[in-house]
Amino acid sequence: MLTTDFTGIDAIERLVGKITEDAKGFTAKLRGFHGQGNGNGAASQSSELVKQGLAIAKTCGQLQALVTEPGHWVKDVARSYFPSVALSIVIELDIANRIEVGQRGTSLGQLANASGASRALIQRVMRQCTHQSIFQEVSPGMYFHNRHSLLLRDKNLSSWYHYLSEDVLRCATYLPETLRENNYRIGADDSKAAFCKAFQTELPHYEYFYKVDPKRGERFTRAMTSTHSGPLGALIETAYPFWELPAGSTVVDVGGGSGRLAIRLAKLQPHLYFVIQDHASVVEAGREAAVEDLRAPELEGRITWEAHDFFTAQPRKAAPVYMLSRILVDHGDESCVAIVRHVVAAMEAGTSRLLINDFVDPGKFGEDRHRGFDQQDMLMMCAFNVLSRSQTQWAALMRRVDEKLVRKRIWRADDGSAILEFELKK
């Protein structure tokens, strides 16, 4: 039964006009971008194009909501997990690397033979993917890559998508039950997160991955490597003035994972040295993965790897910069206080800087909010039993660490990613 509210006709026409006008501006900039090369101006324009593209897509979504019958709309939202399930299976079967890149494509039969999976299964998961414009089926059972599916050939990116579509989806399935048991309140104990119910463990997320399921932990490490090429990595690479630091200064990347962010920063800031700290297994895997990068003459002697648990005393004293990149977002307030206090105890008052490369709630509401930020917020709730923080909440958290820890500067992006710089007053 059609229940569309036709009082929205004016809104539909307004949105169509806006999409048309914005798309013209977007394509004009796109043509200019292709003629710029790869300089800093091109990088800046690329970022602007991404923002404009997202804005157009958001307006298209508003139009779609207006023209779709409400019952169909809500039903599609209720079963929107099916594409995620299909994507997880596609990654598990390594379909992206089994489909030939170029004009020849790969048949359903070839994919079944190469993967060992049934034709019926592959056909159905590929249908879900093509509905989402991931891969193309140009004739019955004949599949080609497109610009979206090609991303699945990157091991780090596919690990990130696999984590989201398998591990996080499993956690999300148990979130309603977990919340019911806690009277619909977010607890402070990460051992009571939906993650623990989903994986039948009392260990929190990181401990489980590194102690119980190291294979899943390795995938998570690769996934985190890919995230540093996104908004958080881009912001700290382009916004924070590392060039102000004296030559020879050391940046300690606490919980630096595979070291990809530190290595990229080292390439951009040749006057600095970097120490990458994390669990022993993570550091070892990161060092092995970075062998080719570390052969570069400009990095020789400038990258140090160090096994360190950030819940214990910080061994590097009086470093010019300590960096916590996407660490605190995964932890509740009590854990954050413990982590930062160990860093503060090592800082030199008036000299050392603490950089928190994380997220700050943008403070917007309704359709003006950034969808990706709010999805990230739900992920944190499912996996870690924590919520995003506002600027005021960050300030209160740092006061709990030490009253002498004061924020000097902040850099923020539209998507909620932010860099907060703190120093310790004398």
CATH of the domain at 270: 3.40.50.150
State the first-to-last Cα distance of the chain, in angstroms, to the nearest integer: 70
In a domain, 92, yes or no: yes
Does 218 fall in a domain?
Answer: yes
Task: Decide which of 178, 196, 227 is a domain's last residue.
Answer: 227
Torsion, Cα of 248, 252, 256, 261 (10° steps): -30
Note if the pTM is more than 0.85.
yes
Angle (deg, nearest 10), helices 108-115 and 119-131:
120
Same domain, 372 and 253: yes
Does one domain contain both 49 and 182? Answer: no
**CA 205/CA 144 separation, integer angstroms:** 37
CB 32 within 8 A of CB 48: no
Domain count, the chain: 4
Q: Is residue 270 part of a domain?
A: yes
The per-residue pLDDT for 202 is 93
Q: Domain ends where: 201, 227, 253? A: 227
Q: What is the rounded distance in angstroms from the CA atom of residue 93 to the CA atom of residue 116?
A: 9
**186 and 88 part of one domain:** no
252 occurs within a structural domain: yes
Tell me whether residue 160 is in a domain: yes
| Gap between the Cα atoms of 379 and 27, Å rounded | 34
Please give the Cα distance from 374 to 214 (Å, whole number).
29
Q: Are residues 145 and 190 in the same domain?
A: no
Q: Are residues 40 and 186 in the same domain?
A: no
Amino acid at 69: E
**Shared domain check, 337 and 322:** yes
- Sorted by sequence, the CB contacts under 8 Å of residue 27 that are 6+ apart come out as none
Q: What is the pLDDT of residue 229?
A: 58
Q: What is the C-alpha to C-alpha distance for residues 56 and 59, in angstroms, rounded to an integer?
A: 5
Same domain membership, residue 300 and residue 194: no
Q: Are residues 20 and 100 in the same domain?
A: no
Q: Domain for residue 105, yes or no?
A: yes
CB neighbour list of residue 177: distance below 8 Å, 6 or more residues apart:
194, 197
* Cα distances (Å, whole numbers) of residue 78 to 75, 81, 82, 202, 249: 5, 8, 10, 30, 52
Residue 41 domain-assigned (yes or no): yes
Stated as kind and residue range, the H or E segment containing 25 is helix 9-34
Cβ neighbours for 310, distance < 8 A, ≥ 6 positions apart: 254, 255, 277, 327, 339, 342, 343
- Of 67, 82, 110, the residue at which a domain comes to its end is 67
Encode the chain (426 residues) as per-residue pLDDT tens digits: 455 555 588 999 999 999 999 999 999 988 887 765 544 445 555 778 888 999 999 999 999 999 999 999 999 999 999 999 999 999 999 999 999 999 899 999 999 999 999 999 999 999 999 999 999 999 999 999 999 999 999 999 999 999 999 999 999 999 999 999 999 998 778 888 999 999 999 999 989 998 999 999 999 988 988 876 555 457 888 889 999 999 999 999 999 988 989 999 999 999 999 999 998 988 988 888 888 888 899 999 999 999 999 999 999 999 999 999 999 999 999 999 999 999 999 999 999 999 999 999 999 999 889 999 999 999 999 999 999 999 999 999 999 999 999 999 999 988 899 999 999 998
CA separation, residue 114 to residues 97, 330, 396 (Å): 10, 38, 55
Structural domain for 301, as ranges: 233-424
Q: Tell me the CATH number at 95.
A: 1.10.10.10
Same-domain check for residues 253 and 328? yes
Residue 189, token pair as written in the block:
């104990």
- The answer on 104 and 22 residing in a single domain is no
- Does residue 1 lie within any of the structural domains? no
CA distances (Å), 425 to each of 22, 139, 349, 394, in order? 48, 67, 5, 18
Q: Classify residue 56 by burial, with Cβ atoms within 10 Å: 0-12, 13-18, 19+.
A: middle
User: Based on C-alpha coordinates, what's the Rg of the chain?
Assistant: 23
State whether 98 and 13 are in the same domain: no
Domain identity same for 316 and 391: yes
Torsion of CA 270, 275, 277, 282, to 10 degrees: 60
